[in-house]
């Protein structure tokens, strides 16, 4: 519910970016966990009694998706710079802005 409410532009503007991201990340993991737990529980209990091949691809995709998310998060944290750096896009924008200012004067 909170994820839905904070997805509207007016509400999103009132929430800080870090809080919004934290809420949506935790919400995503919670939804993923509930869905995966229900699917695994249905697979184990066989209710309704479907064959295993109905469940196995879905469970595999969910686990693979979470594994990829975790690996990317680990990689991003290991690649964090130890000193403050300017993002290349921002660096280019600042350079172009300086060129325009020098051309105008």
| Contact present, 21 and 3 (Cβ < 8 Å) | no
What percent of the chain has a predicted confidence (pLDDT) above 70?
A: 84
H/E/C letters for each residue in 69-99? HHHHHHHHHHCCCCCCCCCHHHHHHHHHHHH
pTM, 2 dp: 0.54
Could you tell me the two tokens for 30?
Answer: 């919670």
pLDDT at 73 over 70: yes
For 17-64, how does the pLDDT look when each residue is reduced to its tens digit (9 = 90+)?
888 888 888 888 888 888 888 877 877 777 666 676 777 788 888 888
């Amino acid at each position: 519910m909170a994820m839905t409410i904070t997805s509207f532009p007016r509400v999103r503007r009132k929430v800080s970016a870090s809080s919004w991201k934290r809420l949506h990340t935790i919400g995503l993991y919670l939804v993923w966990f509930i869905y995966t737990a229900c699917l695994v529980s249905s697979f184990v209990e066989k209710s309704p009694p479907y064959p295993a091949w109905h469940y196995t691809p879905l469970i595999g995709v969910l686990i693979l998706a979470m594994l990829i998310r975790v690996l990317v998060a680990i990689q991003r944290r290991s690649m964090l710079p130890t000193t403050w750096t300017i993002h290349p896009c921002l660096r280019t924008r600042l350079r172009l802005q300086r060129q325009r200012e020098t051309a105008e004067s």
